[in-house]
Amino acid sequence: MDQADQLADMTTELAIGVAGLTDYLKLLLEEDAQLRKLWVVGEVSSANSHRQGCFFTLQEPDGSAAINCVVWKSQLPRLATLPKVGEQVTVLGQIRLYPKRGTYQLTVWQVLPAGEGLQALRYRRLKARLAAEGLFDLDRKRLLPAYPQTLAVVTSRQAAAWGDIKRTLEQRSPGLKVLLSPATVQGPQAPASIAAAIARAARDGRADVLLLARGGGAVEDLACFDDERVVMAIATSPIPVITGIGHQRDESLADLVADVCAHTPTAAAEQIAPSLDELYQEQVNYLQRVGSVMAKRLQLAQTQVQSLEARLQRQRVDRQLTQHQKSLIWQKQQLISAMTQRLQQHQYRHQLFQEKLATLDPQSVLKRGYALVKKEGQIATNADQLPPGTALEIQLGKGKVTATVTANK
């Protein structure tokens, strides 16, 4: 046997089948603890929806590496966000190998935005929850006092916004008392510091309006105004709150929960304290409106007086008095006649009652010859009740006699 035949026999004994190699690789990949549950971050380079699920490719931003991914249909409703081409995402999944194709892919269970996208997702979720709790409702917002006496400002003492606020208030309303409740308005400590400053101003109790202010800055510098601690501090503040946060992006959650929102610290200060020129002009306008109303009312009163004078001239007062006197005399006569008639009726009825009483008087009956017989003080009406020997008392029309019954018939 030559050398070539020996080498062929040797390779035949050492070689394994494709299925064996695939099974070995599958065991290595799918049983590895690190690959059974891992987070992978990358850019979505392609995405296709299928009746079985969503198939997409995740790659490095420079295209130096890529991996195929799949989210099965049953898992799609559980995703925080769907993969979209060009977006940076972080996915959670497991490496799976498919023997028939000799390829591997990442079976994905969850997709989250990465970087700014993740912050945006957290912002949207917190905003939706706070809105559901009613913290952004218009009916819970309070009006700012028209002429505040004391203003509490929550901002950094070193911030340019604090200087802008003081200059604006000194120009517009020098008499307004301003209290600073200092706070850190940037960085990880900012949310707790802002919440504490708002609570401190509320405990002080002197301010009748509170201004939360900060100048403009990068998105990450203003993230503290989207913190739930700041939102709840504003929502529970007993003092009406106006925000003056200088930014060009969408309104922060602090702006949404505040009673009034201005886009810069200076604009907020202007809204709190009307200028002396504006107050003077308001008074002038008010006096002009009052004068106009009074002039119209005076003109109306003069017109009514003229109308009454014309009516008096058309009607003679002495004639009206004469008519009233005649009417009173006639009414007097009618009253006397009615009273006389009523009196005669009552006199006639009185006489009838007297005659009726006279006919019913027992003395009148006795005077006509009748007698009243009594037995032991009781009137006797039945002879059977008067046996012989009964003593009787007889009342006559004039005087009384006594008698004894001798016979009873």
Please state, for a pLDDT cut of 70, what percent of the chain lies above it.
89
- The angle formed by the CA atoms of residues 207, 222 and 152, to the nearest 5 degrees, is 5
Instruction: Check whether 226 has a pLDDT greater than 60.
Output: yes
pLDDT of amino acid 3: 63
Instruction: Check whether 290 has a pLDDT greater than 80.
Output: yes
pLDDT of amino acid 191: 94
Q: How confident is the model at residue 295 (pLDDT cuts 50, 70, 90)?
A: confident
Instruction: Check whether 2 has a pLDDT greater than 70.
Output: no
- Which among 72-76, 273-277, 303-307 has the top mean pLDDT? 72-76
Give the residue-averaged pLDDT of 286-306: 88
Q: Give the chain's mean pLDDT.
A: 84
What pLDDT digit, counting tens, does each position of 80-96 carry? 889 988 888 889 999 99
Please write down the HEC assignment for all residues of the chain: CCHHHHHHHHHHHHCCCHHHHHHHHHHHHHCCHHHHCEEEEEEEEEEEEECCEEEEEEECCCCCCEEEEEEEHHHHHHCCCCCCCCCEEEEEEEEEEECCCCEEEEEEEEEEECCHHHHHHHHHHHHHHHHHCCCCCHHHCCCCCCCCCEEEEEECCCCHHHHHHHHHHHHHCCCCEEEEEECCCCCCCHHHHHHHHHHHHHHHCCCCEEEEEECCCCCHHHHHHHCHHHHHHHHCCCCCEEEEECCCCCCCHHHHHCCEEECCHHHHHHHHCCCHHHHHHHHHHHHHHHHHHHHHHHHHHHHHHHHHHHHHHHCCHHHHHHHHHHHHHHHHHHHHHHHHHHHHHHHHHHHHHHHHHHHCCHHHHHHCCCCEEEECCEECCCHHHCCCCCEEEEECCCCEEEEECCCCC
Say if residues 81 and 21 touch (Cβ distance below 8 Å).
Answer: no
Which of 11-15, 41-45, 104-108 bottoms out in mean pLDDT, i.e. has the lowest?
11-15
Q: How confident is the model at residue 389 (pLDDT cuts 50, 70, 90)?
A: confident
- Which among 189-203, 219-233, 349-363 has the top mean pLDDT? 189-203
What pLDDT digit, counting tens, does each position of 123-174 carry? 888 899 999 999 999 999 999 998 899 999 999 999 889 999 999 998 888 8
- Which among 34-43, 197-206, 247-256 has the top mean pLDDT? 197-206
Say if residues 92 and 122 touch (Cβ distance below 8 Å).
Answer: no
Distance CA 264, CA 269 (A): 9
pLDDT of amino acid 277: 73
Give the residue-averaged pLDDT of 102-114: 89
Say how many Å lie between the first and final Cα of the chain, rounded: 188
pTM of the predicted model as reported, rounded to 2 decimal places: 0.50
pLDDT of amino acid 24: 79
What pLDDT digit, counting tens, does each position of 309-366 carry? 777 776 666 777 788 888 889 998 998 888 888 888 888 888 888 777 777 767 776 6
Instruction: Check whether 195 has a pLDDT greater than 60.
Output: yes
What pLDDT digit, counting tens, does each position of 49-67 carry? 989 999 999 998 787 899 9
Which two structure tokens, joined as six digits, stand for 42? 């990358």
Higher model confidence: residue 122 or residue 258?
A: 258
Residues in the chain: 409
pLDDT of amino acid 397: 67
pLDDT of amino acid 118: 60
pLDDT of amino acid 317: 66
pLDDT of amino acid 130: 92
Instruction: Check whether 373 has a pLDDT greater than 70.
Output: yes
Higher model confidence: residue 267 or residue 121?
A: 267
